[in-house]
Amino acid sequence: MTVMTVSDSNKVEEEFTEAKNNWELEKLYVDLSSAKGKGLTPVEKKFLRGLLCGFSPAEIANIVYQSRSSSTVRVYLSNGLYKYIEEMLSNQAGYSIKVKNWSRVTHLLEKAGYKKVLLEIEATSNQINQINTNNIKQTDFAAMKSVQTQDWGEAVDVSIFHGRTTELAQITEWIVQEHCRLVVLLGMGGIGKTALSVKLAEQIKDKFEYVIWRCLGTSPSPGGDATRTGISFGDTQPPGSGNPPAAPQFLPEGNPPPNCSLLHRSASTLYLGPPPDIFLNQLIKILLPTQQTKDLEVVDGTISQLIDCLRSSRCLIVLDNFDSILSSEYTSDLDIYPTSSASHSSINNSSVFYLPQIRYRPGYEGYGELIRRVADSQHQSCFVLTSREKPPEISAFQGEKLPTRCLKLTGLSNAESMEILKLKGVTYFQEESKILIDWYAGNPLFLKLIATAIQELFGGNIYEFLEQGTRVFGDIRAILDQQFSRLSSLEKLIMYWLSLNQDLGSIRKLQTEIIPRVPQRLLLEAIELLQKRSLIERQASRFRQTPVLIEYVAERLIEDNFKLMQEKPSSLLMSYSIFEAQMKNYIRDMRLGTEI
């Protein structure tokens, strides 16, 4: 091992002095000494300056000792400097930071604010003057930003945005004050998840070095221009109706958005975001633009590389329409529904009902591992997901005091909903508009769509629309069709019974009254799934559906019952006697709810 001589010591301060031109050396010495517990030695300072100048341990050894052996330098770094730097940065950040190798030192210290900021100003003589800005705060390196990168993808315009003040404040607190690593915005189609995610990102973007917004699923909008306005109250891309999705095919080129998969549907075409390996490599290239990165086909390795980026830089990454890469596999209703002859019997064999869980589409399972690692790993960044269905990994990680949080969006308030009607130009009286808003539960997209229909079909008169009686049609029907088509037969059965008899709000009463009888375990699992799909809401001790969903489900039951009878006369979703009794309850409740 090479030994440091006295003459070497006298020359310590003469080497790598150019480091002081770009780095706050004195402050760095002081902060590292504090982490060490005593002052840095001259040799430690020299090696630190060498690293700050971009030299590797081998290059430092060659310059200092004229030796190809870097063992002395590596020992000093591993046993000393690296540990002091890790201690100092971890204390500042509030979580563990590791150096790992010499090349990360300058990157970490620059992010921590120890590099001088140089502004170039063009003088009249065409000379460039460099101004050293020494008054930058150094105490909180998480708040320091070098060149900020923002990539908004196909984010919608939220220049006009009403409501969601409480939700924005809550999510901002989770992310900025409580440093949550994963936030999930849940809600049924049209409730406003997309617009809220964009508004949120715009409000807190200055807290991050990188802001990336991506949509994982796009489809032709049945609402047309009604869903693509600058007035942001709700979701902006309602999916069309269709059959259960087939396995996606990835199309790297062509008409679809870049790196999207294409799903063929009977009524529309759905484009999916890129498979996880491609998406992860795209993220790495954005977060490490100056480094030569090689695309990795192994998802686990790429996720590890991404986690390193999330630790070294403060990143906000929003993934919209996450439910588009989720699916539920189920068998045909004809194979599952019990026949009417068995309607009154107790079903002891749970295999009669097939209850699939929410899972990822084939080829997209890597997103699940990504979400798990983001939620479970220590880092200073945040992922925000918007979804109609809760991803399967979330329940294990979420909690009021944990770094993973979920927010289920409900409808807008009456005052906020009135703004939609006002901007749409429909004619209304206070009482009529309140009935309309209550019927669609303040769903912003539904209100925009129905306001357009009222304008075009009823001359803008809400009273005439309410008088004709039909509330679910056109684009709203298409949106609900798409979400309802993902349900298993047991989930549909529960939705039918809840819609036709709204007194069956509790689990215990539902289990007693539902026909055919369903085992308690399956009933609990199905209700939990319906909650995860944002199709039922718990109010006090009861589960409820929104009025528009109640009417839709009742209409579906009538249609499906008739269709099943035509195809297989011995099979009915409900026997005639039960169906007639439940329809009387439904009609009575609807009349009470719509009297003006």
What is the per-residue pLDDT across 174-223, written as a single tens digit (0 to 9) for each? 999 999 999 999 999 999 999 999 999 999 999 999 999 999 986 444 43
pLDDT (tens digit per residue) in 58-72: 888 888 887 767 787
Residue 473: is it exposed, middle or buried by C-beta count within 10 angstroms (0-12/13-18/19+)?
Answer: middle
End-to-end C-alpha distance for the chain, whole angstroms: 93
Residue whose token pair is 């031109």: 21
**Residue 341: predicted pLDDT:** 40
Quick one: how far is CA 393 from the chain centroid? 13
What is the pTM for the complete model shown?
0.67
Could you say which DSSP state residue 44 is in? H
- Tokens at 430, concatenated: 């206070």
Residues of the chain with pLDDT under 50: 1-12, 118-146, 219-259, 261-268, 330-351, 572, 576-577, 584, 587-588, 591-596
Count of helix runs (H) and strand runs (E) in the chain: 25, 18
Contacts for 245 with CB less than 8 Å, ≥ 6 apart: 263, 265, 270, 327, 361
The b-or-e profile of 14-32 (16+ CB within 10 A means b, else e) is: ebbeebeebbbbeebeebb
* Measured distance CA(551)–CA(439) in Å, rounded: 10
CB 490 within 8 A of CB 355: yes
- Tokens at 111, concatenated: 């992010």
**Residue 296: predicted pLDDT:** 58
Q: How many residues does the chain have?
A: 596
* Measured distance CA(394)–CA(407) in Å, rounded: 12
Residue whose token pair is 């799903």: 263
- Tokens at 49, concatenated: 């300056």
* Measured distance CA(128)–CA(452) in Å, rounded: 59
Position 399, amino acid: G
**Residue 68: predicted pLDDT:** 65
